[in-house]
A = this chain, B = another copy of it.
Amino acid sequence: MLAHRLIERKRDGGKLEPGEWRALIMAYTAGHVPDYQMSAFLMACFLRGLDHAETSALTEAMLGSGARFSLGSLGKPRLDKHSIGGVGDKVSLVLAPLVSVLGIAVPMVSGRGLGHTGGTLDKLESIPGFRTDLTLAEAQAQVETIGCALMGQTTELNPADRRLYALRDATATVESVPLIASSIMSKKLAEDLTGLVIDIKRGSGAFLTSFEQEIDLAREMIEIGASHGCPVIAVITAMDRPLGRACGNALEVEEAIATLNGEGPEDLVDVTLALAAEMLVMGGVAADCDAARAQLRAALASGQAADQFRRIIERQGGDPRVLDDTALLPQAAECELFTAPRTGFVQRVEPRAIGRGIVALGGGRSTMTDMVDPAVGFVITAKPGDWVEAGEPLASIYARDRTGIDSGRATLRSAVTIGDEAEPPLPLVSHRVTKEGVEELR
């Protein structure tokens, strides 16, 4: 009866009290409220919205459903970065080792890919032997000893959010600012952080479709963080084209390793350094972003960051030799170049089309239970704004068979547009949102 009454209230545009959020989430997690009631409730939330107090109460309720890291005794800043879904976004794989060798603990709990977006866990698991299913105790010990753990959401951490997220995914209730904000913040606050940087993607490949929604989401998370003693800064980055060149799990690990070895594509390096610099400043390790960038570049150049990734891989059961020989990563049976069908400016490389193309190749998920082929994907060297000649290679397709190559070619044909006029892409790192306001970056 509780659930029915709360569904009805939210359906009619009413508000739930903190105690009601807690009771509902507890009852759902305990199995007393069935999925079919919760999904109707979620749709009512999606269409009627939640105010700040409700979003904060929902976050608190989900946070309370599980265990948390306890890292206060480390005596150093604990920071994480979270990204709102993208294509080709392997920033975490570079950033976590990089930041964690500079005196910041990084207890990073990541997710899997779904729909057109990739997920850090799937990428990591393409490293032979790599275990992402650490227990909370294992992860905590690892953060204490080497400063970083890269793990999935265990059954201990935030079971309410795990179930709710799967349900939202199945019921078209994902793209709601308060539901996204509370889901992310309930996961991140369980990491016992002293600060959090959010990478909010903007553009045709982003989850959210308007700039207002993105700013709303940033503000919502900043507010939730503030009410839980965890400062949050959001950085808005471009997702009107894939980030970096590689799109596909093992291919992205390869690119992340290249980046840790100082050979990353410029856009990936820029976004990684922008986010990592915020973390260093928030953690008090650098005085400002310029100083932070210098430290970060030095840690990349010296091999320190790559060594840290090696330690993390080794500690989590993976084969650390991939850092020196990426041929140890899963390899696709078939590879083919895709060339420019005409001469002109590359106008668009549509991330959604690329993301869906990876799913079509078997490298992503339509549903949470799909298996992922780590080896398939694309390496797209062409960027919007580039001038290309007909017949010039724009990308490579990696597939398990010839059918996959055909599918990949069709994906690229629809994703890559070449025309006579250059169409300016979005600025790569465009805004910074803090509790003080929105700052446009030049």
Contact = CB atoms under 8 A, between A and B. Distances in A.
A333 interface: no
A184 interface: no
A432 interface: no
Q: Is the interface of A mostly helix, strand, loop or mixed?
A: helix
Interface string A162-176: 000001001111000
Contacts of A46: 11
Interface stretch (A34-42, A302-310, A335-343, A390-398): A34-42
A4 interface: yes
Tell me how many chains of this kind the complex includes.
Answer: 2
A36 B172 contact: no
A44 interface: yes
Contacts of A276: none
Nearest to A9: B172
A40 B37 contact: no
A36 B171 contact: yes
A8 B174 CA distance: 10
A43 interface: yes
Contact of A1 (B34, B35, B171, B366): B366
A69 B39 CA distance: 36
Contacts of A36: 34-36, 38-39, 167, 170-171
Interface in A91-116: none
Given A4-B170, A172-B11, A37 B37 contact: no
A61 interface: no
Given A38-B36, A39-B39, A47 B11 contact: yes
A48 B11 CA distance: 11
Interface string A288-299: 000000000000
Contacts of A235: none
A348 to B, nearest CB: 24
Contacts of A38: 36
A172 B7 contact: yes
A172 B35 contact: no
Contacts of A1: 366
Contacts of A173: 11, 40
A70 to B, nearest CB: 35
B7 A40 contact: no
Interface in A126-141: none
A407 B173 CA distance: 42
Interface string A189-214: 00000000000000000000000000
A42 B37 CA distance: 11
Nearest to A11: B172
A367 to B, nearest CB: 8
